[in-house]
Structure 1
Amino acid sequence: MLKIRRATHDDAQLAYAIRRLAILDQCTEHYGAAAAQAWANVPYTNGYAELVAERFHLACLDDTIVATGMLDVHSGELGALFVHPDHLQQGIARAMVAHLEQLTVSAGLGEVHLDATLNAAAFYRRCGYVGDSLAVYHSPFGLELPCVPMRKALAPV
C-alpha cells in the first residue's frame, strides 16, 4: 500500500540516491548522456539534507521509499519529483502530485508552479498543468538545463 509521509534528515541520502537513479534512467534521452550524468553527479551536501528535512515528502510502498517530492508551501513551488526506476508507471508520481497539491491548498494557496524537466512536461500536462515555453534552470552548482515553467490553479477544498 502506498503511503506518503514527510521526510526527515535521516532520509536525505536515500532521497539523493533515488534522485540520481531517476535522472540517469529518465532524463538521458532528453538531455543527453553527458548532461544527465553531470546533473546526477551534483554532490550530496548538508544543504541538500536540510532541504529534504524541511520540504520533502516521500512515497513509500510498505516500508520502502520509492519516490520523492518537494513543496515550498510559502511560494507554492513543487519540485524534486523523482520516482525510483523500478516503480515507474504505477501511479506513484500522480499520487505524490495530488498529495503536494492538497498541502498547497491547505496552506491557503490557490496555485502551484514548477519547472518541469523536458521528460516530465507531458506528465504534468496530464495532471492539469499548463505551460509550453522553454526556459533555463540554473542550478546552484552551475548546471543549466532546459525546463518548462508550468502552473496549475487549485480549487479550495
Structure 2
Amino acid sequence: MKTLYLAATLALATAGNGIAWASAPAAAPSSQAELTVTFEQIEIPEGQILLSLYDNEAAHDANGKPVRGAMAKVEGQAVSVRFEGLAPGRYAIKAFHDVDGDGKMKTNPFGMPLEPFAFSNNARPEGGPARWKGASFDVPAGASETRIAIQ
C-alpha cells in the first residue's frame, strides 16, 4: 500500500493540476531567488523529467499543491530546469523520469514505480515519497543550484 502511495504521490504531484508552470512575476530584484535544478545519472536518454517544487512541509508531505512545476525534455544523461522569481526560503522537489512521455508514472500492479524517480537532496523514499525533513533545502536570494540523481 505504501508503494502505491509513492507512485500516486509522484504522479499527482507532477500532473499539472493548478501548477504555475511559467516563472512568476518578479518581486523586488534584491529579494528574488533563481534556482537551477540539474538531474543527473539519467540512464535512458529519452522522454521527459516532470517535477514539482514545494515551498512548505504541509503541501509536500500531504501531496498538496506545489508552488511550481516543470517539464524538461531528456536528450542525454543530464538535464537542467531553471526557476526564476522565487522567494528565498526552503524548498523540496519531487520528480520522475517519464520515459515513455505519456505524462504519467508507470507502476506495477502493486503500485511500485516502474519509471525512475528522484527527490531533492537525493532523499530516499520513506514508506512512500521522501519526507520534507530529508528533501528540503535552502534557496537564498540570488542564483543557486542543486543536483539530483535520478534513481
- TM-score norm. by structure 1 comes to 0.31
- TM-score norm. by structure 2 comes to 0.32
Structure (1 or 2) with the greater strand fraction? 2
Say which structure, 1 or 2, has more relative contact order (CA 8 Å, 6+ apart).
Answer: 2
Structure (1 or 2) with the greater helix fraction? 1
